[in-house]
Amino acid sequence: MTRRVLLAFAGVLLLGAVWELYKDLGPATGVKVGELAILPRTTDLAMPHLWTILDRLGQPVSSLPGSLPLVVAVLQACLVTLGIAGAGWGLGVVFGFLLALLMQAVSLAERAVLPFVILSQTVPVIALAPLVVGWGAQLPAWQEWMSVSLIAAYLAFCPIAVGVLRGLKSAEATQLELLHSYAAGWWSTLTRLRLPASVAYLLPALRLGASSAVVGAVVGEVSTGTEGGIGRAIVEYAQASGGDPAKPWAAILGAVAIGLVAVGVVALLGIALRRFRRWEVAA
């Protein structure tokens, strides 16, 4: 485990090194194939130095007296988004799990529902967001952030439903036949065989779901105009990017941190389930 944490840390450092290396060695005008830019410019405007970004994090957000240091504002925004994404992920896990159970139990349901689970992911967030906001506004006690959580859940449930379904079906025929010979019902087969067998598929599914939920929360915030989170901060800070290029990058770093935390939480979950985890499929 420590090794994995260290590796993750090394990965982040490597990313930083690649950033600085490209900034140092890449052409200032970027790399273009014809009209199409395939690599960005390396100017301070397009790619500020990492230490400029870190330095910016320590300075106040604005010159208004009492303005918080940027790092505090970014962390607060990260917590808000993490909460929204967490709620969306939880909802997506519950819904995805129930859907997988239904599809496993009733093969007609699998044939009827699975294509729509996949199709659902082709609906772009920009089409979904105004609808969700519109529905939510008609419900009493509905809060703005719930719309964003719902969008996050919408993106998260698909990999979970598909992954859990594969996991539930992964028990070997001989094992199923054994339980059948014991006259075990659907429920005992589920709890004693199918669920433990599904863990190898469950964890990658939860991880994919977690990153989808974070992406959904960030994009959902931008799309719906929910304030307080990191997605909104990125677009608002981006307006200052001409004169203060490090500011939006500081918020982007925050979004990266949320993704790492989300995946870290799922890794902790993996530790709790390690008894069932003799192997794991690649995510």
Residues that bind other proteins (CB under 8 A): 41, 43, 45-46, 61-64, 67, 79-80, 82-87, 89-90, 126, 129-130, 133-134, 137, 143-145, 221-229, 232-233, 235-244, 247, 265, 268-269, 271-275
Instruction: Give CA–CA dist 127/133, Å, rounded.
Output: 11
CB of 170 to other proteins, least distance (A): 19
- What are the CA-CA distances from residue 226 to residues 129, 148, 189, 201 (Å)? 11, 8, 45, 34
Cβ 212 to other proteins shortest distance, Å: 15
CA distance 38 to 274: 42
Contacts of 24 (CB under 8 A, 6+ apart): 42
Residue with Cβ nearer other proteins (87 or 158) = 87
Output the smallest distance, CB 60 to other proteins, in A.
Answer: 8
Closest separation in Å from C-beta 48 to other proteins:
11
In this structure, are residues 66 and 53 in contact, taking their beta carbons and an 8 Å threshold?
Answer: no
Q: How far is the CB of 190 from other proteins (least distance, A)?
A: 17
Q: Which is nearer to other proteins, 149 or 189 (CB)?
A: 149
Contacts of 259 (CB under 8 A, 6+ apart): 211, 214
Residue among 110 and 221 whose Cβ is closer to other proteins: 221
Q: Which is nearer to other proteins, 103 or 202 (CB)?
A: 202
SS3 at position 38: strand
Cβ distance to other proteins smaller for residue 78 or 161: 78
Which CA distances in Å does 83 have to 27, 126, 171? 40, 22, 35
Determine the residue type at 223: S
